[in-house]
Structure 1
Amino acid sequence: MTDSSPDGTDEHPLFAAIYDPVVAPFERRIAPQRRWLAADLAGTVLDIGVGTGAMFPYLAASGADEVVGVEPDPHMRKRAVERAAECGLSVTIHPTGAESLPLAADSVDVVVAALVFCTIPDVDAALDEVARVLKPGGEFRFLEHVRADGWAGRLQTTVQPVWGRLAAGCQLDRATDERFLADDRFETVAFERLDAGIPPVAPIVRGRLVRRDDPDTEEARRPAP
């Protein structure tokens, strides 16, 4: 069930309440990937779509000087605040979505996105914002589940209408990785497809993109999906 806040933001109180226990087995499986996202961080780090704060224990152990997050759902955000306190992480969480980041251009050293682009309504707008706030030479690190090939992809498309309603709008069959890798504003320095998902939430991909320091790429546009 989806409620709406006074400002029109979708809320998912039931989903937020059951999320952590439901995904606990999956989280144990992908813990090494979350550690990979948080390895050797420095400077200002932005966690997009913090949810209930799944990345917070890893960010707390990283070398980040400052951690900022965004999360539009107040129920998820409340749990994230509690988790930050539990793991001793100092973090500012803004109540906004990834399509409109309340940060200055060229102000972030690393953007981290962990299993969030599947639920972002406007992927292109969010990627525009990532490119805007990242410093030239800054990193965009991601861990996402994406569309599968063959029968597994067809299964994702078949169950998507029901899955999306139950999982707060999660899109199983998005080719998010293709959109990331095709964006000329970034240089791909690492990309892997991992045997870490649980169907239909599989495959899982992870990668590191570096914001190009090239004014010509400011006008570069992605090919239509």
Structure 2
Amino acid sequence: MAPSDDSAAAAADPVSHPAFAALYDRCMPDRFLVAPHREYLAADLSGRVLDLGAGDGATFPYVAEASDAATIEYHAVEPDPNMRRRAAETARETDLDVHLRDARGESLPYADDAFDAVLSGLVFCTIADPDAALDEVARVLQPDGEFRFLEHVRADGWRASGQELLNPVWKRAAGGCNLTRETVARFVGHDAFAVEEVERVALGIFPASPMHRGRLRRTRDAVGSR
């Protein structure tokens, strides 16, 4: 599926949110709120792994704790230079050797079938063209490779209406985060993936809720034929 002219233009814009990056740890106390779900993303990894939109490297310590360094080759992409600097610092503080690159989800600098697993932790809300990024995830995953995610999605009823009203301001203040995306529906509806599990989790407060986590398996069929 080709991106629209508008989404292609958005994807070409530089990604830089210095104020949000500086305040992120205060706004999002990761260890306090998200630890069980980062552990879910990091559990029992092996082979080549890609951390999509690594942010400040919040998932790195969990991977270092949960995985044998001898059995994992860990890659990460982050387009925001402010977050990427923080991710590099986090990588240095862990025992995990991280290959960190400046790249967007819509155009990953890796060969087809390059990874055994791709991780996405609160990422697809900020990607300019999420459909193109999901096609890229499918492309770089090996057949039977696993896509693990934790994402917030559009709510129902009055909460959805509230998200619509708040989204323009929220997006500017929260590093490009969109409140109204049907992210899980996008994931499970993609022809390149089979659903292993999807569950709603007790995490997040309005307007960045509800949240879901899950695992998808890359099928052996052709990628991106939607």
What TM-score do you get using the length of structure 2 for normalisation?
A: 0.90
* Pairwise CA distance, 1:154: 1.1
Q: Which ranges of structure 1 fall in alignment gaps of 5 or more residues?
A: 1-6
Using the alignment, how far apart are the partners of 1:18 and 1:153 within structure 2? Answer: 26
Match of 2:41 among 33, 37, 55: 37
Residue 78, structure 1, aligned to residue 85, structure 2: yes
Residue 145, structure 1, aligned to residue 152, structure 2: yes
Instruction: State the SS of the aligned residue for 1:180.
Output: helix
In the alignment, which residue of structure 2 is the partner of 1:203? 210
Alpha-carbon displacement from aligned partner over 1:50-97 (angstroms, at most 9, x marks no partner): 111111111112325111000011110000000111122210111011
* Pairwise CA distance, 1:193: 1.1
In the alignment, which residue of structure 2 is the partner of 1:105? 112
What TM-score do you get using the length of structure 1 for normalisation?
A: 0.91
Q: Match of 1:19, as an amino acid?
A: Y
Percent of residue pairs bearing the same amino acid type: 52
Give the aligned CA root-mean-square deviation in angstroms: 1.3
In the alignment, which residue of structure 1 is the partner of 2:25? 20
Q: Using a 3 Å threshold, how does the CA distance of structure 1 residues 14 and 131 change in structure 2: closer, same or farther? A: same
Residue 171, structure 1, aligned to residue 175, structure 2: no
Residue 158, structure 1, aligned to residue 165, structure 2: yes
Alpha-carbon displacement from aligned partner over 1:24-66 (angstroms, at most 9, x marks no partner): 1x65122101101111111111000011111111111232511
In the alignment, which residue of structure 1 is the partner of 2:7? none
Stretch of structure 1 that moved more, 61-70 or 157-166: 61-70
Q: Which ranges of structure 2 fall in alignment gaps of 5 or more residues?
A: 1-11
Any conservation in 1 of the 2:117–2:148 contact (CA below 8 Å)?
A: yes
Misfit runs of 4+, over 6 Å? none
Any conservation in 1 of the 2:138–2:224 contact (CA below 8 Å)?
A: no
Alpha-carbon displacement from aligned partner over 1:143-188 (angstroms, at most 9, x marks no partner): 0000011111111111111100101110011010000010111000
